[in-house]
A and B are shown apart, each in its own frame.
Chain A
Amino acid sequence: MKLAKKDLRDEELLQLLDRAKLNDSKAIGIICSHLYSKIYRFIYYRVNAVEDAEDLTSEVCFRVIKSIQSQKGSFYAWIFRIASNLINDHYRRRSVRSNVEPAGDLIEEMIDEGNKQSELLEQKELRQSLKKLTEEQQEVIVLKFIEGYETDEIADMLGKSSGAVRAIQFRALTALRNNFITKEVYTKG
């Protein structure tokens, strides 16, 4: 199973956070460049365009650094909460729910990676179905299967119990599966 890169080690992150809270610019630079990819992937699967994902990610970084001195508790839970709120604001501003076709650049990326046409279509449909899930279901699926976190880590990030995350995961996968079956029926019908 191919998973996204894991985090900085906990102790490294804590040290950087302590330094960043003391206004250490170098530590802030390292945290930002490390967080950027992580937040970007989280947002990417919930918005439609690469440009939107980059703009929102930059905004999250900006807000994280701006209020880092008041940060308490789980750092990742905090940043993913900021990211989630920003995504909601983004859709509220645009008044568009994310059931639009994925941007063309994603398709090009997938072609570049040498995927077969059938896989490509499956991935496209999967991504569209993902956007029909509830907000918290999308969060769990992206954190678990794109970022590669374990259930306990996700529970910590989202401020929920592990059992609650497992329940969300189960419902999300069932909903995705049902979406797929419905699509197949429509396509074949």
Chain B
Amino acid sequence: MEQDIELLLDNCISEMRNGKSIDKCLAKYSQYAGQLRPLLQLVQQLETLPKPEPSLEAISAALIEIGRERAIQQGGTAAFSKISNAALNLKKRSSIFNKIRNPKLAWVFSIVFLFLVVLFSAATISANSVPGDILYPLKLATEKVKFLLTFNSEKKAELRLTFSDKRLQEMIAVFQQSGKLDTTLLKEMLDEAKLALEENKTPIDTASIFAAKLSHVNAYQKDVLEKIRPQVNPSSRQIVDEAINMCDMRGRWMREMMNENDEVYPEGSDSMHSPQQMPRSKQKSNRKQWGPGCDWDR
């Protein structure tokens, strides 16, 4: 009988390890339940005892000692160096892991990691937001940070073009949702394109490529504005007309600039000098301006 209950206890422990509850285990052996239950409850408590791990320093110290002893026995250093290498690797691991194991540091790491994950996720989700959305300010902030972290002037100018395109997409989305034209977005769209030209400090030989891109963006924006013009509120139509006109002027100005291969400058510039002959500061300043009528005059 005693032998039987020992076997039953062992069977119940195995079943509990496979996920069964005490009650389910004892259902089969109801006549022994009174005797087995307290023992199985104790088993549950025993299995919650901490499973201690030795420090990695202790393991590496033991490995070094063993390596040293073996080297003495074998009269050489090869064995020592191999085992010591294992110990050194452990020590390297220990210095990092011990820091992370420190509950306070682990807490800080977790918070920072969580913050970065949340920020990254929010920034990604905010990419499709429009004015009025809760994440829209984050989208603008992300753009600003991205711009500030870009140091290459050519890439900065490209970013401006991207922002200009984003404002256009937002304006379309808002228009589709509410049927109203967001004139702030329209203005920002044109401003970003203007700033793209100002940011552009590309070498003279690649300036025409950028000018072509800008011209393309400008043409696309004009096209979109012309398409939505008939649907906008008559009171906003004047602003759309002005914007279309501005795009028109800019387009013409860009074509002239490309045709004359960087030698024709907007009105008021010193067109007698080729860019190569002009001082660098003057070259930049000339490329920083649109032609007349290409900007808001209000």
A residues bordering B, Cβ < 8 Å? 1-4, 23, 25-26, 28-30, 32-33, 36-37, 40-41, 44-45, 50, 53-54, 57-58, 61-62, 65-66, 106, 109-110, 112-113, 119, 122-123, 126-127, 141, 144-146, 150-151, 163, 166-167, 169-170, 173-174, 176-177, 180
Of the candidates A28, A106, A177, the one whose C-beta lies within 8 Å of that of B39 is A177
- Cβ-defined contact, A58 with B65, below 8 A: yes
- Cβ-defined contact, B49 with A167, below 8 A: no
B residues bordering A, Cβ < 8 Å? 2-3, 5-7, 9-10, 13-14, 16-17, 38-39, 42-55, 58-59, 61-63, 65-67, 69-70, 74, 78-79, 82-83, 85-87, 90, 103
| Chain A residues within 8 Å of B7, by CB | 166
- Cβ-defined contact, B42 with A180, below 8 A: yes
Residue of chain A at shortest CB distance from B86: A29
- Cβ-defined contact, A122 with B45, below 8 A: yes
- Cβ-defined contact, A126 with B49, below 8 A: yes
| Chain B residues within 8 Å of A28, by CB | 66, 70, 83
Which secondary structure dominates chain A's binding surface? helix
- Cβ-defined contact, B49 with A146, below 8 A: yes
A166 to B69, CA, bound (A): 41
Residue of chain B at shortest CB distance from A65: B66
- Cβ-defined contact, B9 with A44, below 8 A: no
A53 to B59, CA, bound (A): 12
- Cβ-defined contact, B53 with A26, below 8 A: no
Of the candidates A1, A62, A119, A127, the one whose C-beta lies within 8 Å of that of B47 is A1
- Known contacts A23-B79, A54-B58, A65-B70; is-contact A3 B9 (Cβ 8 Å): no
Of the candidates A30, A145, A166, A169, the one whose C-beta lies within 8 Å of that of B49 is A145
- Cβ-defined contact, A169 with B10, below 8 A: yes
Residue of chain B at shortest CB distance from A150: B14
Of the candidates B6, B14, B63, B103, the one whose C-beta lies within 8 Å of that of A112 is B103
Query: Shortest distance in angstroms between A118's beta carbon and chain B's nearest beta carbon?
Result: 12
- Cβ-defined contact, B62 with A119, below 8 A: no
- Cβ-defined contact, A2 with B47, below 8 A: yes
A167 to B8, CA, bound (A): 11
- Known contacts A32-B62, A32-B66; is-contact A26 B86 (Cβ 8 Å): yes
- Known contacts A145-B43, A169-B6, A177-B42; is-contact A2 B51 (Cβ 8 Å): yes
| Chain B residues within 8 Å of A119, by CB | 48
Query: Shortest distance in angstroms between A171's beta carbon and chain B's nearest beta carbon?
Result: 9
A169 to B11, CA, bound (A): 12
| Chain B residues within 8 Å of A36, by CB | 54, 58-59, 62
Residue of chain A at shortest CB distance from B55: A54
- Cβ-defined contact, A173 with B39, below 8 A: yes
**Residue from A113, A170, A176 with most neighbouring chain B CB atoms (10 Å):** A170
How many residue pairs at the A-B interface have CB separations less than 8 Å?
Answer: 135
Of the candidates A25, A61, A122, A173, the one whose C-beta lies within 8 Å of that of B70 is A25
A109 to B51, CA, bound (A): 10
Query: Shortest distance in angstroms between A86's beta carbon and chain B's nearest beta carbon?
Result: 14
| Chain B residues within 8 Å of A174, by CB | 39
- Cβ-defined contact, A123 with B48, below 8 A: yes
- Cβ-defined contact, A176 with B42, below 8 A: yes
- Cβ-defined contact, A40 with B52, below 8 A: yes
| 13 CB-based A-B contacts, threshold 8 Å | A25-B67, A26-B82, A28-B83, A29-B86, A54-B54, A54-B58, A58-B58, A106-B50, A110-B50, A126-B46, A150-B14, A169-B6, A177-B38
| Chain B residues within 8 Å of A54, by CB | 54-55, 58
A45 to B258, CA, bound (A): 84
Of the candidates A29, A127, A167, the one whose C-beta lies within 8 Å of that of B63 is A29
| Chain A residues within 8 Å of B61, by CB | 58
A174 to B54, CA, bound (A): 30
Query: Shortest distance in angstroms between A161's beta carbon and chain B's nearest beta carbon?
Result: 12
| Chain A residues within 8 Å of B14, by CB | 150
- Cβ-defined contact, B78 with A25, below 8 A: yes
| Chain B residues within 8 Å of A177, by CB | 38-39, 42
- Cβ-defined contact, A109 with B52, below 8 A: yes
- Cβ-defined contact, B90 with A33, below 8 A: yes
- Cβ-defined contact, B48 with A57, below 8 A: no
- Cβ-defined contact, A41 with B86, below 8 A: no
- Cβ-defined contact, A61 with B47, below 8 A: no
Residue of chain B at shortest CB distance from A151: B10
| Chain B residues within 8 Å of A123, by CB | 45, 48-50
**Residue from B49, B63, B82 with most neighbouring chain A CB atoms (10 Å):** B49
A30 to B66, CA, bound (A): 12
A166 to B74, CA, bound (A): 45
